[in-house]
Amino acid sequence: MPIIEVSQLTKSYRVYQKREGLMDSVRGLFHREYREVEAVKGIDLKVEQGEFVAFLGPNGAGKTTTLKLLSGVINPTSGSAKVMGFTPWERKHEYRRRFALVMGQKNQLWWDLPAQESYRLHQQIYGIDPTEFQQRLDELSELLDVKRLLGQPVRELSLGERMKMELMAALLHNPDVLFLDEPTIGLDVIAQHNIQQFLKYYQEKRKITILLTSHYMKDVAALCKRVVIIADGRIHYDGSLSGIIDKFSGSKVVTLQFAEDVQPDNLSEIGEVIETNWPKAKIHIPRNEVAARLAQALRDHVVEDVSVEDPPLEDVIADLFHSVGNHPRAETSHSSEAPQV
């Protein structure tokens, strides 16, 4: 039985439309105009226990709204969802004790207090046994290399250090499901890598289920085997990371190294030239025409080396986001040592 099961889940908001100008503002006090915003439009989703799933989409796609629905922060307009057998928006105490939500732009720790003080409050709220609490605190602070920072006020910590503390707060009660909304937003490359390494190790060790939203493809590539793409409130892809390129990329990137001294004028006959650093040239060629176009290049030019690659994942996903308005819904498919970070 899936640990997360969503069926035809929708969420709409009624948004007040404020007009400009004094008279229209006064008129708005007596006669208000609203418009309906559909943030989530009937999504279906199943996640098995122990999966690490990336939830991708452009801004306003419905990612955060979905996580809020699954964590019970907001109520849906229609549809159903079960997480570990619980309906999230019923907000039962048994459910709250078994999941955690971390939002990269929201703080759950007291700003002026050391993190260890917030953790003590956390212990009382969740009723964690003192011995278990201390064991988890020691384990997490060692894995994240923040023991020396536990007594320092949160406001004095760097952004990366604060995110580590936020993750510790989310994991102290040993949840079975973890919802992560942009956990590496605003972090530098080193801090992102550290968070990735910790999440990968902890998830593999504890086998918890994680649903991750992120705009950083490196997060996704490092952590997730399964990807769900949502745009305009609908799911457009559910499958493997590699399957995205196979399904949505219509071209290959071909790099040719020529033996010719002077760049010829007819390279565009081979394909779309995207970069030249003569004697090398990178060319986009439609997938189904790669063999024929390469044969043409070898016939017309002296070529010393050839490489054929898939386009960057970021480019494929960006093109998908841009075209999603005209794109039909895709069929779904499902296809160590502890790090010091």
User: Of 274, 213, 275, 271, which is closest to residue 57 (Cα–Cα)?
Assistant: 213
Mean pLDDT for the chain overall: 87
Q: Check whether 330 has a pLDDT greater than 60.
A: no
Task: Yes or no: say if 223 and 247 are a contact pair by the CB < 8 Å rule.
Answer: no
Model pLDDT, residue 328: 41
Q: Which residue ranges form the domains of the chain, and what is each CATH number?
A: 4-245 (3.40.50.300), 250-309 (3.30.70)
The region of weakest confidence among 5-9, 98-102, 243-247, 295-299 is 243-247
Please write the tens of the pLDDT for every residue from 206-228: 999 999 998 888 888 889 989 99
pTM flag (> 0.75): yes
Q: What is the mean pLDDT of residues 279-297?
A: 90
Tens digit of each residue's pLDDT (9 = 90 or more) over 79-104: 999 999 999 999 999 999 999 999 87
Contact between 109 and 156 (Cβ < 8 Å):
no
pLDDT at 335 over 80: no
Among 66-70, 174-178, 281-285, the range scoring the smallest mean pLDDT is 281-285
- DSSP-assigned letters across all residues of 85-123: TB-GGG--HHHHTTEEEEETT---S-TTSBHHHHHHHHH
Q: For residues 237 and 213, give the distance between their C-alpha atoms in angstroms, rounded to a whole number.
A: 15
Where residue 9 falls among pLDDT bands split at 50, 70, 90?
very high
Identify the weakest region by mean pLDDT among 89-98, 235-244, 258-267, 331-340.
Answer: 331-340
- Return the pLDDT at 263: 84
Give the residue-averaged pLDDT of 328-340. Answer: 38
Q: Mind listing the pLDDT tens digit for each residue in 117-167?
A: 999 999 999 999 999 999 999 999 999 999 999 999 999 999 999 999 999
Three-class SS of residue 17?
Answer: coil
Task: Tell me the average pLDDT across 18-33.
Answer: 73
Banded pLDDT at 319 (limits 50, 70, 90): confident
Looking at 185-194, 216-225, 243-252, which range is the least confident one?
A: 243-252
